Chains A and B, each alone.
Chain A
Amino acid sequence: MTAPGKHSPPPPSRSRLAPTRTRTLTVIAQDPSVTLRGQPVTAQVEVPAEALGPGPCGYRVHVIDYDATADVLYPAWTPATGADADNGDPFAGASPKAAIDDPRFHQQNVYALVMRTLARFEQALGRRVSWGFYGHQLKVAPHAFAEANAFYTQRDQALLFGYFPGESGDMVYSCLSHDVVVHETTHALVDGLRGRYTDPSSPDQAAFHEGFADVVALLSVFSLREVVRALVDRRPGDEPRGAERRRRGADTLVRREDITPERLRESVLLGLAQQMGQELSRVRGQPLRRSAALRPSPAHLAATEYEVPHRRGEVLVAAMMDAFVSVWSARLQTLGDQEPGRLSRDRVAEEGADIADALLTMSIRALDYAPPVHIEFGDFLSALLTADHEIRPDDSRFRLRRHLLSSFAAYGIQPASRGGGAEKGLWAPPHAELVYERSHFESMSRSRDEVFRFVWENRAALGLYEGAYSRVLSVRPCHRVGPDGFVLREVVAECVQILTVQARELRELGVRAPRGMDPETEVRLEGGMTLVFDEYGRLKFNVQNAIDDAARQSRRLQALWDFGHFRKGASHPRRFAAIHRARALGLSRQVREEW
């Protein structure tokens, strides 16, 4: 539903004079353990066309197939020559089994999935998206080492994928898992959009990266119609074979009793969780299984079990998946029967995939409406709702926003917006009078200095804390395309503030220092605002986490103190490696008591 006419590619052309915009590449659809007639299921995905170097090495991704365990470099993917150079698929029509034995296919698979995820973000945000480091090309090592782990590392500008022997004795390659690749790429993209989200903050912020990466990975899978079509009306432990399987495959109808939210949760969510491969789940636990099985309760977030980031992230995923099945089920209830008591399977799948795709777009866009520092789940919810409302004011078709509100509430997540917006939960427009005369919007959409001039000029009205170091981190003009081709132009700017004080000075700010903290301890307070301007340069939203919000800062400091962040050297350059391992191990570390 979000495929915009304006951005869709022209029909494929082989002419060198009119280079094509996209290239179709073969990838593994889910992971190699999902097979059809004994062969892993493959899919064709479209990525931006470009003249690739060996690797592949393109303008945003450089695949380097170095294996640190064996200390070798594997033979690199090379582009076709001649007319197909920029759009050929060396593995078109190849047998999937043979492809899996060829490292060059693995390289192509990660390249394509990373580029596709990047393109999905760029499409949703309506602009180019940078990685979270200085440089344009993300390094990707598809066989980095023999370990059941995969992670993003900002310090090394890279995604690393491990491999390990599976139960059957065959090697399991995490670089061939759609879900794992999308998850890791999402970490790299979120880091580019909101670099401060890896800073120590609240338990929510620590969990957000992980939960969001899962949300994007899962919604990407659910936006594939074929996947949803096969899962609908599946029963737990139900693995039809032979004739029964063929009969069901040919069954073009779905019974009405199978489209309740409960049944969809069981068939589609748990069904996919089961399919997602026991073995790959060990790369970082079974996020979907856990989230899909997590019953709604506002008490989860307060429980110690959900204090650790990877468990807390599951609550966010559960809320989102709950919204997905409830919107979908509600939508299906309004459809007419194909036969008495039965619906068209294609229609059911199409609606599901469309809803997943809409939620995915909304989730990615929400990042632009989220505060630059200290995100909490409630901020994300308000950002989601606002992002959707801006481009799709009429919620009557899917009632997405209403369902999101109630699903998130069921898991204890309330919108952070205190009201005043156009609908419940939306961010409110700024209420104070602002001075626009002294800044030029034309240059404000390009220049951080110009935006800062605007901010400084309006510091009282915007709630900028004067005593802190302030910096505009980014200015991003966007052209977002709505479901019916409607274009929304916005400029999004992030401004952060940093104030370093000693613990004993906190009182002057009204902030409570954690008990037991040495008064000499250096404490870094962060605050910031995301400014969203409309196409005429008027401020639409100021999404703010003020540095002098004493209550929030006190809470955060206490949480950081409890989790040992003030211990010397507590920062972790390999946070994602550690979080993913903790997930696989189900660890819940108690840091509160450390010396």
Chain B
Amino acid sequence: MPAKSERRQPTALTLRTYRVGFGDCFLLTFHYPDEARHVLIDCGTVAFPRSHTAKGRPPMLRVVEDIRDQCGGKLHAVIVTHRHRDHLSGFKPRKDGRGPGDILKACDPDVVLQPWTEDPALAAGAAAPGSPRTPGSHQTARAFTRALSDMHRVAAAALAETKRMRADVQKNIRQQLEFLGEDNLRNDAAVRNLMTMGRRHVYAHAGSDAGLARVLPGVTVHVLGPPTLEQAGDLHRARAVDQAEFWHLQALSSAPSTRRPRALFKGALDLRTHAAPPQVRWFIPRVRNLRGESLLDLVRVLDGAMNNTSLVLLFEVGGKKLLFPGDAQIESWEYALRRAENREEVKRLLADVHVYKVGHHGSLNATPKSLWRLFRHRSPARGAGRLISLLSTLPGKHGRKERGTEVPREALLKELERHSELVSTHALRGRTLRHHLIIPL
């Protein structure tokens, strides 16, 4: 006869989708016969909707206070899918101890779950989880985490350079650079706060244990991503080293200061104070724009690399399956669907997903078509059992419609509307703080 704790099963699930504009914040409550257990998945934003910022208390405080009230001041687990600001800015404390991060810390989570790339022991030279089986692989993992810090430096420098950019650089280039630059800045205060909250820290990778069994009895949490470098394979490992070098070099080339870098050679003509000779005036604004575009390309690449460190979690509870892939993009899915040893089992699980948190705010390559096609609860007809998709996004911030890179991507949005029950934070009106969904189990 199974022990009493093993027989405990949640009977219902409340899923709150917070309206944080461009960012993710979900509070899941698992209702057991005698109590409720609360799990926070991400809490951050880079841009609140205008209705939130208009007046009153800072919106992130309102969000976090609501989380505290909903969970009765106790979180059982906090999950931060990756280090982007739009997923963790809510963990930032304030000097006076009354910031959103302070409130969340006071909720005293039992477990804090993050991807393996966030393990502070890695930087100190420890082995990556699941490694090292081959010689040198933990240096590679370290090189990878170093690359992530270099990417932060590059983002900071790009942001600083954007602020110095002349008016002849196209406005949309400057705006996108600002948005992506901000989102990719390092968030030291929030990261430190996360490190000091919670009783147990788990750093997970594809196939590893999420460490949530004790806090969530009766719930199975499968970790589908991110893969470690070991798992990603030789080719990717070799590439990781090239990429680490590339970002190191970029970080060296960029001074994260608002001051203009010095000229390379003596006797240069400063174009802030002097007019350029007429015969080169046609060319100069073009080089300035190219520089802007080039920086933007660079920041896009690093943004994608960080997105791919996202935890991809599949919750299995009472016959229902919920997929929370953070901002994982195609490269991460490529591993889960095509190269993982247990890919067939992963695909079976995915086929039965009932609730899908739309990857990366609905960007064009975070919901691979081959993933979408797996979901068998997709249906044009409304009714019980139809796939529910949760989209947390704010249009007009990321990407450009003219280039077909807008977020959320129009074609995907249409498909979500047509074949699933779409919950979009953008559709919420007025000062509404969240969407509330109860799933009986």
Contact = CB atoms under 8 A, between A and B. Distances in A.
A439 B105 CA distance: 87
A171 B271 contact: no
Interface residues of A, number: 53
A66 B253 contact: no
Sorted nearest first, the 10 A-B pairs with minimum C-beta distance are A569-B403, A72-B268, A593-B368, A68-B291, A568-B404, A595-B412, A567-B404, A164-B253, A73-B269, A586-B239
Tell me the dominant secondary structure on chain B's binding face: helix
Given A72-B269, A147-B298, A574-B297, A64 B280 contact: yes
Contacts of A64: 280, 283-284
A66 B277 CA distance: 11
A71 interface: yes
A282 B248 CA distance: 11
B261 to A, nearest CB: 5
A149 B260 CA distance: 20
B260 A67 contact: no
Given A568-B403, A578-B297, A595-B415, A74 B246 contact: no
Contacts of B412: 595
A593 B294 contact: no
Contact of A145 (B294, B403, B409): B294
Nearest to B411: A595
Nearest to B365: A594
B283 A158 contact: yes
Interface in A52-106: 57, 64, 66-75, 101-103
Given A574-B293, A593-B369, A164 B252 contact: yes
Given A71-B271, A73-B280, A141-B287, A595 B297 contact: no
Interface of A: 57, 64, 66-75, 101-103, 139, 141, 143-149, 153, 156, 158, 160, 163-165, 171, 282, 285, 305, 567-570, 574, 577-578, 581, 584-587, 590-595
A164 to B, nearest CB: 4
B297 A569 contact: no
B298 A595 contact: no
Contacts of A586: 238-239, 242-243
Which interface residue of B279, B291, B298, B411 has the most chain A CB atoms within 10 A?
Answer: B291
Interface of B: 161, 164, 166, 235, 238-239, 242-243, 245-246, 249-250, 252-254, 260-265, 267-272, 276-277, 279-280, 283-284, 286-288, 290-291, 293-294, 297-298, 301, 330-331, 333-334, 364-365, 367-370, 400-405, 409, 411-412, 415
A70 B242 contact: no
Nearest to A574: B293
A66 B274 CA distance: 13
B287 A160 contact: yes
Given A68-B288, A144-B287, 19 more contacts: A64-B283, A67-B264, A71-B270, A74-B268, A144-B290, A148-B249, A148-B253, A149-B294, A153-B290, A158-B287, A160-B290, A163-B264, A171-B264, A570-B404, A584-B246, A585-B242, A585-B243, A593-B370, A594-B364
B395 to A, nearest CB: 15
Contact of B276 (A73, A146, A164): A73
A32 B63 CA distance: 58
Contact of A68 (B245, B252, B279, B290): B290
B420 to A, nearest CB: 14
